[in-house]
Structure 1
Amino acid sequence: MWKWLHSYADPERAYKLSGTLLPWFSTLAILLVGTGSIWGLLFAPTDYQQGDSYRIIFIHVPAASMSMAAYMGMAIASFIGLVWQIKSADWAAAAIAPIGAVITFIALLTGAAWGKPMWGTWWVWDARLTSELVLLFLYLGVISLYASFEDKVLAARASGILAIVGVINIPIIKYSVDWWSSLHQPSTIKITEKSTMSTDMLYPLLINIFGFGMMIGAITLIRYRTEILARNGMRPWVRDLATAEEAK
């Protein structure tokens, strides 16, 4: 069932596939983030309670959502690397970690900027905010572990175990507002129920969520290709690539 994974264990094939996908992810990211941001920040109606300060959700919510999605992607790649011993999966996890850390920091920063006018303070030790901060520490832990070992096989194993264990924090972030008393507002985008948000606000928000996903995918592909080249510098096909670039 999982034999198809092994076909992408070949670094050259993984490099070429990521190069094929990169323009698609990049184009979609530019179109979606551009459309969603302009629509949300400039043309969406003003909220009757929060005024224009609510518009930060068009950055905050996509960043927060994708910080969890990126972590799950990293954890899945780490799991594949540990179980099937596919090095290219370890390289994918290493590529995702810094991107996830940055997007989590953006989520925390924009959340603080939103919280100041709404709650009267930049930070509270709220369940949602605290668990999102823990997510940032998990990303930083994975990055640090991967950089701490010269043996990258051992580094991938150590950071991969941390990434997999850290998955327990994802449902805590997701359901913290339901499980504990929280200043953070409940989810307004629901899968099984009707959303409580006006469609004039909901559509640009959804566009930006998908756009952020495409943006993270595009940056991950760039870093992944760099990671492949760094780990396979002595392979003939890499030298051929370098020679072809020099010839241009």
Structure 2
Amino acid sequence: MALINLANPTRFLAIVTRVLPWLVTTTVLLLTTGLYLAALAPDDYQQGATVKIMFIHVPNAWLSMFVWGVMSVASLGTLVWRHPLADVAAKAAAPLGASFTFLALVTGSLWGRPMWGTYWEWDARLTSVLILFLMYLGLIALWRAVEDPSRAARAAAILTLVGAINIPIIKFSVNWWNTIHQGASVVRAGGPSMDDAFLIPLLVMAAGFSLLFLTLHLAAMRNEILRRRVRSLQMMQASRQSPANDTDAFLRKQIASQTGAR
């Protein structure tokens, strides 16, 4: 099915209704399997059992950047292609991205305390991820502050595209600056540097969290479409019952009665 076919909100809602139960089931199975494999993974010879925080931290860190990428594509859809669901997709993704980023910061701090001796360090990677979290909160606040949906959509799209510059900074910060954060261990030129006992549970958890995002995102988009429909109906009803319309109707009746009298 072409993407343009999804431009119809009614068709999109019908597809989501059919797909969501399958996505929920697959997500639960993947996350359950991933947690089971993570529990069976051996302790690291240096980090001990603390290394298992990785199975939660790394997928959330990946998704914190991936979701902003999704929002950036949606922002192009809003500004360039005028896709009717682009702003819905971006707005629905922002709270999810903020949640994943928050979890990445929290689990990273818990992991860093026994490894670095501190919960927080103004490291290049940590600071850039914190900035990403604040940008997510700023976008959410922007959508709630601007009442006109079209104006809010354009402003949020511009801010999202400007903020996308932070994504490569997060990705390559460990290469560009002297940082205490470790470099890439999975996606790297020479291939993964970790043992399969850790790599396989990590990849399963990453797939599970990715499907979790997709499931929650589609559900949030559905809710946002329905919310906007309810808002449109309320505005139509309010306009019909407004005093201005009652006055216009009264004047029309008066003119009609005077014309008939003549």
TM-score between the two structures when normalised by the length of structure 2: 0.85
CA distance in 1, matches of 2:182, 2:140: 31
How far 1:216 sits from its partner (Å)? 0.7
How far 1:9 sits from its partner (Å)? 1.8
How far 1:5 sits from its partner (Å)? 3.7
Paired position in structure 2 for 1:62: 59
CA distance in 2, matches of 1:17, 1:181: 48
How far 1:191 sits from its partner (Å)? 4.8
CA distance in 2, matches of 1:174, 1:186: 9
Paired position in structure 1 for 2:180: 183
Q: Judge which range, 169-178 or 13-22, deviates more.
A: 13-22
Q: Does 1:23 align with 2:8?
A: no
Paired position in structure 1 for 2:171: 174
Paired position in structure 1 for 2:93: 96
CA distance in 2, matches of 1:216, 1:99: 7
CA distance in 1, matches of 2:15, 2:161: 26
The answer on whether the counterparts of 1:9 and 1:86 sit within 8 Å (CA) in structure 2 is yes
Paired position in structure 2 for 1:226: 223
Deviations 1:31-54 (A, max 9, x none): 1111112211x2001100000011
Paired position in structure 2 for 1:198: 195
Deviations 1:73-127 (A, max 9, x none): 1111121111111231101110000010011000000000001000000100001
Q: Does 1:156 align with 2:156?
A: no
Gaps of 5+ in 1: 236-248
The answer on whether the counterparts of 1:29 and 1:214 sit within 8 Å (CA) in structure 2 is yes
The answer on whether the counterparts of 1:74 and 1:97 sit within 8 Å (CA) in structure 2 is yes
Paired position in structure 2 for 1:32: 30
Q: Judge which range, 12-21 or 68-77, deviates more.
A: 12-21
Deviations 1:166-209 (A, max 9, x none): 11111111111111111001111025422111101100001111
CA distance in 2, matches of 1:80, 1:55: 39
Q: Residue type matched to 2:23 in 1? A: F
Paired position in structure 1 for 2:8: 10
Runs of 4+ in structure 1 displaced over 3 angstroms? none
Q: Does 1:83 align with 2:68?
A: no
Q: Residue type matched to 2:12 in 1? A: A
Q: Residue type matched to 2:18 in 1? A: T
SS at match of 1:111: helix
CA distance in 2, matches of 1:69, 1:75: 10
Q: Does 1:134 align with 2:117?
A: no
Matched-pair identity in %: 46
Please say which structure displays the higher CA radius of gyration: 2
Q: Residue type matched to 1:198 in 2? A: D
CA distance in 1, matches of 2:26, 2:74: 23
SS at match of 1:87: coil
The total of aligned residue pairs comes to 232
Deviations 1:4-39 (A, max 9, x none): 443222110121122233223222211111111221
The answer on whether the counterparts of 1:37 and 1:208 sit within 8 Å (CA) in structure 2 is yes
The answer on whether the counterparts of 1:142 and 1:160 sit within 8 Å (CA) in structure 2 is no
CA distance in 1, matches of 2:191, 2:148: 51
The answer on whether the counterparts of 1:128 and 1:177 sit within 8 Å (CA) in structure 2 is yes
The answer on whether the counterparts of 1:74 and 1:96 sit within 8 Å (CA) in structure 2 is yes
